[in-house]
Amino acid sequence: MLNVLNDPNYPDDETIAQAQKTIAETYGINTHNGETHHIDTVGTNLERDELRDTLRVVMEELAKYPCDFFRRNTIKAMHFVKNLAKYETEDIFKGKKIWEKRHIGGRSWWKLKEILLLYYPHQKKTDHPSMRGTLHHEITHILDGHERSKLDKKWISLHEKHSRVCGTYTGKGEGPISPCFVSAYGSTSPTEERAEFAEIFMLPQRHKEFLARLANAPKEAQLVLKKKYSDMKENFLRWSGGVMNDAYWDALLKE
């Protein structure tokens, strides 16, 4: 199917329909052009060539997981849009609410088992690094939804134990961050840091860069990052029913 998506000789409509059918049959995920029913999120539909490009990228990234992974973890749908934004409410002056529009790269609803993914037209030439990473990021928010509180407490306790060097989760992701966090955005909460780790695990080049960083990290930061890295491996092993083991990651790193 990927060969067909990459071949301009095949017409868009036929190729898109076949790709969507393949994703549904292989992974149990329905794919949609546009955001249709989440009242606090807006976006515009993709053009046919953009949708075709998105489906190619999504199929390449989904293929990195075991075949039954998404049925096992019940991810039901993905929506693809441009100009994605979320409206947020904020209490001011005696409980009055205002709407603030914030542009985002993706969103997920773990109870609905749905993902919303932003298409960046300008990133086509670089083969969509942001979209690839965000896809794995949002997938992880669904994977850990039912055990989020337990997993969060584990890393909060880890930071409390090493707070002198590592600091704590900030809730902001701004300014200089401790070397004990995987990224600035990961410093906002354990939930976001797990999703940031997932991007690293599933993208081989970023995974290699992280391992190089880990080898050269300060002693206490290295200890904390190694623990988080080990915990994420355990999470994926559990989510995959034992398939995503050390041999699995070694093979993915060689791609």
Residue 238 CA to residue 234 CA, distance in Å, equals 6
- The structural domains of the chain, with segments of one domain joined by +, span 2-127, 145-253
Beta bridge partners of 117: 80, 106
Mean pLDDT of the chain: 89
Span between the terminal Cα atoms of the chain, in Å: 19
Q: What is the pLDDT of residue 148?
A: 94
Nearest to 60 by CA among 34, 93, 23, 111: 23
Spatial contact of 229 and 197, defined as CB atoms under 8 Å apart: yes
Query: What three-state secondary structure class fits 153?
Result: helix
Query: What three-state secondary structure class fits 2?
Result: helix
> pLDDT tens, 208-231?
999 999 999 999 999 999 999 999
pLDDT confidence tier of residue 12, bands split at 50, 70 and 90 = confident
- Pair of tokens at residue 154: 């584990």
Phi and psi for 87 in degrees, rounded to 5? -95, 130
Phi and psi for 219 in degrees, rounded to 5? -50, -50
> pLDDT tens, 29-59?
999 998 766 777 888 999 999 999 999 999 9
